[in-house]
Amino acid sequence: TAPIRLRDYAPPAWRVESIELSFELGIDTTEVTARLHLRGDASRPLRLDGEGLELLAIALDEQPLDAGAWRYADGVLEVDGVSDGSVLTTRVRTHPAANTALEGLYLSGSREAGFLLTQCEAEGFRHITFFPDRPDVLTRYTVTLQADRARFPVLLAGGNPDGAGDLPDGRHWARFVDPHPKPCYLFALVAGRLEKIERDYLTGEGRTVKLVIWSEANVIDSCHYAMDALERCMRWDEQAYGRHYDLDVFHVVATHDFNMGAMENKGLNIFNAKYLLADPDTTTDDEYKAVEAVVAHEYFHNWSGNRVTCRDWFQLSLKEGLTVFREQQFSADMNSTALKRIEDVALLRRAQFPEDAGPLAHPVRPAEYREINNFYTATVYEKGSELVRMLAGKLGPEGFRRGMDRYFERNDGRAATIEDFLAALGDANDLDLMPYLAWYGQAGTPRLRARGHFDAGARRYTLTLSQHAQAHADLPEKPPLPIPVKLALFDRDGRMLALRMDGQTVGHEAVVVLDRDEQTFAFDEIERSPVPSLLRGFSAPVILECDYAPADLALLLTHDPDGFNRWEAGQQLAALAFDDCRHGGQIALQAWCNALAQLFADPTLDPALLADLLTPPGEVELAEREQEVDPAQIHALRQQLQKQLAETIGAFALAQRLAALEVAGPLQLDAVAKAQRRLKRRVLELLALIDAPTAQARADAQYRRAQGMTDRLAALSVLVRSDAASAADALADFRRRHADNPLALDKWFAVQAQLPGERALERVRSLESDPAFTLKNPNRARALLGTFASGNPSGFHRADGAGYQLLAERLVALDALNPQIAARLATAFNGWQRLEPVRRDAARRVLSALAEKPELSRNLAEIVAGVLK
Ligand code: B3K
Ligand code: ZN
């Protein structure tokens, strides 16, 4: 198939003003009647999308159409004789239980007990009925559901409830009307046996909204945390952005069978249970945070995505990048700004930088695609959020709010573009932000080079910044980007200096914008050569190249008042220390270890921050710095680095701290308790590297006494990774204890898939024959195969290529069931070109053979071909 290109965009020939949709729901077959009220130009053909639909009846303006008046082939229904104001009625049949792709209308759970639901973004609606399946067609929906009352007691669709009642033969109906025109990707329905919790929410505008969370009966008690989070984020959006909820009800539904995290359908959000259910015995602290974040993300889409939607899928980051940014701000406000920033930058480096450095690299606004579902990427989401963050930083809090108000006001009820966004933010602040469009149009992570020079005679420090596009990225000639660099200067005692630029005192922090290839910035009245702290808060998504002396980084690591910048200095120093491990160097290694040992002894430091400071960059990030990647060697060197750190701190101090972090009594979920558990885990891991017997004994005890999942899983992971004699028993215990909880079992699969080194493969193979393993459930497939392939470099990248072979075989099986999940897992092959020669050859062989398979889905074929090139 030919790619779809941004530059070919044309407005739709036909619009659908309103639709009356009615469903006769059944597990095996569902019949859908759609009445489309059409507006458009009669001289242009009406073409509607429809995939795999069985057309039962078709009528135009209430007259059945002859077979000659329409054609249905290759996913398009073409109808003749339509005029402006015509009503087209179609009746189709679909097969929910047979739908393993989990796109369109499908069954979650078993035939006997499961429920029906829909997933339409990006192009699932065409699996439900004939419609112009594109986001710039905005339509008013009236949806009527009919079903057997005993089998489907709960009937839900987006919008406001508009009546319900009984029908003959034990059937019933319910109707929903959505007053807000929306694109069809935001349509949703849910039908089945579900329980609910509900709460009234009074909006800042004084309207009462019913919030309802639905799940299967056995987990309904795990929905309270999400309900609290929902209320928090609704209030926050009112206060931070002046955005209020706009329907009478807000439904949220949990399912265990979902291709992604969650979906922002208007008035009826649907969640992967992983991001909605939370209970102390089975949910880790990090997962609690993720629930809060995803609940907020989906809710925030109600304005950034639903009220203002995207003109076409190339603009996806308009809603996703913006909504990720809004969620990041919210989570920072609810928890800790520094820790949230650390987590997000770490994610960017682990997921987005490698994507941007390899053959799958694409701009935040891609220029073309074959399968849009392959573009829900870290680039569109996370880098997209970084671009919004740069704009917000440039405008300042008030200017950004003014700009966002303008954006929402101008584009409400519209399908907008990235240009519309930049124009609104700029116009509201009398600024031209169009130079930032270049960031949206080019792939690759820019490199920012920094050179400092101190002139003692002139008491002047000059900083020369230059930017360099990534060599192998797409455009031959890249225009310079505006790169905001937030910076500070420190004296040798670790104090921040007052900054004087161009005769003005600008405070202790300044933002300079590099918008040419190279620029020099001067700071006056500087007495002694300072230590620069650059890119504070990660003010632009670039790779900083600066020849820091290890001692300078150690100074920032120990003295910077801002937790994020401290962590950032530590990460850079750790990378140099990693190089020392390889070459037998000492300077950076000792600087890193000594600085951290000093911080370890500081009782005033936030334990959660300390835990993050004690964690060097991950194996994936470290691999990004290599010319030729040997994952086994990277793993070994990183272990050595951490071992060195543990030895510097000392086994005694580690064990002592561990004991001090032990708390008796019932589980606490406040920030202090979470921070202590975070540090406890890190300390236990470090101790395991230098005193395995003691660490294992502690882990054993911790496993047995653990009050919650965070401690239990941390202990289990240490036992498994350090080959403790008791690991097998602990695993068996965990398996028994959580046999009925799929989300906990996923963790049991994942912790074993993370076993480092060659033994991982055998473990994965044996886990595949566990009765609880199935490729049909996306969470389970991701927990075992996704963790192994993307979260365990030294396990997956075996020199004999057996890891690649296993993944390729499973991808083929998975692709036949669920192409979206297969394509996602296949991205684990990204970056194979930079592997050392033996692994590279093995990967090439496996990938080439996979690419040859004739039956691959468009999803998987695009990723395999892309990764190979
Ligand atoms: N918008 C959805 C993602 C849809 C993915 C389609 N393959 C969830 C989100 O980003 O909020
Ligand atoms: Zn989103």
Task: Write the pLDDT tens digit of every residue in 641-652.
Answer: 999 999 999 999
Q: Is the pLDDT of residue 310 over 90?
A: yes
Q: How many CB atoms lie within 10 A of CB 813?
A: 11
The pLDDT value recorded for residue 226 is 99
The pLDDT value recorded for residue 599 is 98
Q: Is the pLDDT of residue 347 over 90?
A: yes
Residue-wise pLDDT for 80-110, tens only, equals: 999 999 999 999 999 999 999 999 999 999 9
Q: Which residue has the higher pLDDT, 302 or 663?
A: 302
| pLDDT confidence tier of residue 178, bands split at 50, 70 and 90 | very high
Q: What is the mean pLDDT of residues 622-635?
A: 98
Catalytic residue ranges: 298
The pLDDT value recorded for residue 477 is 72
Percent of the chain with pLDDT over 90: 98
What is the 379 CA–ligand 1 centroid distance (Å)? 14
The pLDDT value recorded for residue 471 is 58
> Does ligand 1 lie within 6 Å of residue 263's CB atom?
yes
Percent of the chain with pLDDT over 70: 99
Q: Where are the domains of the chain?
A: 308-441, 447-540, 759-869
- For strand 510-514 and strand 447-455, is the pairing parallel, antiparallel, or unpaired? unpaired
Least confident of 429-438, 465-474, 663-672, 777-786: 465-474
Q: Is the pLDDT of residue 472 over 60?
A: no
- CA-closest residue to ligand 1 atom 10: 320
Contacts 24+ apart (CB under 8 A), 149-155: 151/27, 151/192, 151/193, 152/25, 152/115, 152/116, 152/191, 152/192, 152/193, 153/192, 153/193, 154/115, 154/190, 154/191, 154/192, 154/193, 154/194, 154/196, 154/214, 155/25, 155/189, 155/190, 155/191
Q: Which of 370, 378, 386 lies closest to 790 in space, CA to CA?
A: 378
Provide DSSP, 384-448: HHHHHHHHHHHHHHHHHHHHHHHHHHHHTTEEE-HHHHHHHHHHTTT---GGGHHHHH--SPPEE
Q: Is the pLDDT of residue 428 over 90?
A: yes
| pLDDT confidence tier of residue 475, bands split at 50, 70 and 90 | low
Give the ipTM of the model, two decimals please: 0.99
> Are 31 and 91 within 8 A, CB to CB?
yes
Residue-wise pLDDT for 247-259, tens only, equals: 999 999 999 999 9
> Does ligand 1 lie within 6 Å of residue 121's CB atom?
yes
* CATH number for the domain whose boundaries are 308-441: 1.10.390.10
Provide the angle, in degrees to the nearest 10, between the axes of the packed helices 631-649 and 587-600: 50
What is the 639 CA–ligand 1 centroid distance (Å)? 36
The pLDDT value recorded for residue 476 is 63
Within 290-403, strands assigned E span 308-310, 368-369
Structure token digits, residue 330: 């919210």
Mean per-residue pLDDT of the chain: 98
Q: How many CB atoms lie within 10 A of CB 594?
A: 15
With a threshold of 0.95, does the pTM exceed it?
yes
> Does ligand 1 lie within 6 Å of residue 713's CB atom?
no
Q: Is the pLDDT of residue 669 over 90?
A: yes
Give the Å distances, CA to CA, from 76 to 35, 132, 135, 468, 606. 17, 9, 17, 45, 59
At residue 716, the 3 state secondary structure works out as helix
Most informative mutation of 127, 260, 299 for ligand 1 (most atoms within 8 A of CB): 260
- How many angstroms separate the CA atoms of 438 and 475, rounded? 11
* CATH number for the domain whose boundaries are 447-540: 2.60.40.1840
Residue-wise pLDDT for 190-230, tens only, equals: 999 999 999 999 999 999 999 999 999 999 999 999 999 99
The pLDDT value recorded for residue 470 is 72
Distance separating the N- and C-terminal Cα atoms of the chain: 17
The pLDDT value recorded for residue 280 is 94
Q: Which of 318, 267, 608, 537 lies closest to 440 in space, CA to CA?
A: 318
